[in-house]
Amino acid sequence: MEPHLAHVPRVTLKDVAREADVHISTAWRALSNETYVSAEKRTRIREIAKRLGYAPDPMLSALSSYRRKQRPPAYRSTLAWIDNFPTRRACLDTLHIRGYFEGARAYAESMGYRLEAFWLRERGMTPKRAREVLLARSIRGLLFAPQPAANTRLALDLDSFACVSIGYSLAEPRLHVAVNDQHASTVQCMRRLVQLGHRRIGMASASDTLKRTVHHFESPFHVFQDALPPAQRIPLFQIEGREEPANVAPWRERFAQWFGMHRPSAILATFSEVLPWLRELGQRVPDDVSVATLSRTQQPGWAGIDQQERMVGARAIELLISIFQAGERGVPDTPLRLLVEGKWIDGETVRAVGEPQPELLVALE
């Protein structure tokens, strides 16, 4: 009869801590890759754990996770919401950006982090001074809000910080990004309009909007137009600059010319002035022409895309916390792109005009 194998006791976290000559909480933090433990000590403790054959008990881990969810999380650290708008209130007074901030703050608090606004345009604030203030406040994680203009470049020393940006408007430095899947948002809109029988679909936007989305918004529109015979194609109506009322207003006459020449049955728009312009032209929405938006936060009540700004903000903070805890600092060699898909929401600005066009749906696959 074969002798029974001797029972080998499980290596515990306490064993790892004893071998490393550290407190058990320090061993736990090191194995969780928390940056409160120095990188050198983390490496040493992880090597000891591997040598001893330590593996977390899955049942205990599950119990610990359950207990954490039943009580408010302990404070861990403060993260900064980096605001580069020209005035202090302009950023968070912008509805869709406020959605990002609220989602980010709620998720941060659920994980034991505090999210505080940090305004880069404060009087006397320089890139060097900003770094000093953040470090003095023990802030090592930065979430960059969308920038006031596309292709913004900031001269900041980020070597001491974990960083994530919301959206693509921050061109330099190139950071990890969390953003609505803008390409998929346009595809959703185009497909829905085609399913409602629309074939002559136009698009109206502004150059700053298209640049800040790195042209993800309009690329499916061009794919759709290319699937049509040349005589049926409708060019993009593009305003130069930003979608601010003062900049948009002078383009009314050109919009009227574009609409009169191409007569779209539906328009995919990113600025609100399209509706009053159509009414001035005697067009009833949606009886004569349907209109859809790529951001229902900015055009509430319209049919179109809910970009889920709160979820984008939450996922941005989730990504920031993960790289912060992993010890990543500075500008990444390979930036990540975390895309959150939007949702089509029906509204009173769109109606069906006929049967779907299968060949056009294929072009949007």
- Residue 315: pLDDT band (50, 70, 90) is very high
- Residue 357: pLDDT band (50, 70, 90) is confident
Structure tokens at 229: 């015979």
Higher pLDDT, 114 or 22: 114
38-65 core/surface letters (b: 16 or more CB in 10 A; e: else): eeeebeebbebbeeeebeeeeeeeeeee
DSSP category for residue 9: P
Distance separating alpha carbons of residues 288 and 330, to the nearest angstrom: 53
- Tell me which of 68-82, 295-309, 317-331 is least confident: 68-82
Residue 316 to residues 81, 93, 178, Cα–Cα distance (Å): 11, 20, 5
Strands 237-239 and 141-144: unpaired
Distance separating alpha carbons of residues 123 and 118, to the nearest angstrom: 12
Q: Write down all domains in the chain, each with its CATH number in brackets.
A: 13-66 (1.10.260.40), 77-174+309-341 (3.40.50.2300), 182-307+344-363 (3.40.50.2300)
Distance separating alpha carbons of residues 53 and 28, to the nearest angstrom: 15
Strands lying side by side in the sheet with 162-166: 113-119, 77-83, 141-144, 162-166, 176-180, 337-340
pLDDT digits (tens, 9 = 90+) for 339-348: 999 999 999 9
Q: Looking at the chain, how many residues does it have?
A: 365
Res 38: pLDDT:
75
Structure tokens at 131: 């770094």
- Residue 239: pLDDT band (50, 70, 90) is very high
pLDDT digits (tens, 9 = 90+) for 100-139: 999 999 999 999 999 999 999 999 999 999 999 999 999 9
pLDDT at 23 over 90: no
Distance separating alpha carbons of residues 326 and 332, to the nearest angstrom: 13
Distance separating alpha carbons of residues 181 and 342, to the nearest angstrom: 7
Distance separating alpha carbons of residues 104 and 320, to the nearest angstrom: 10
pLDDT digits (tens, 9 = 90+) for 288-305: 999 999 999 999 999 999
What is the H or E stretch that residue 201 is in? strand 201-206
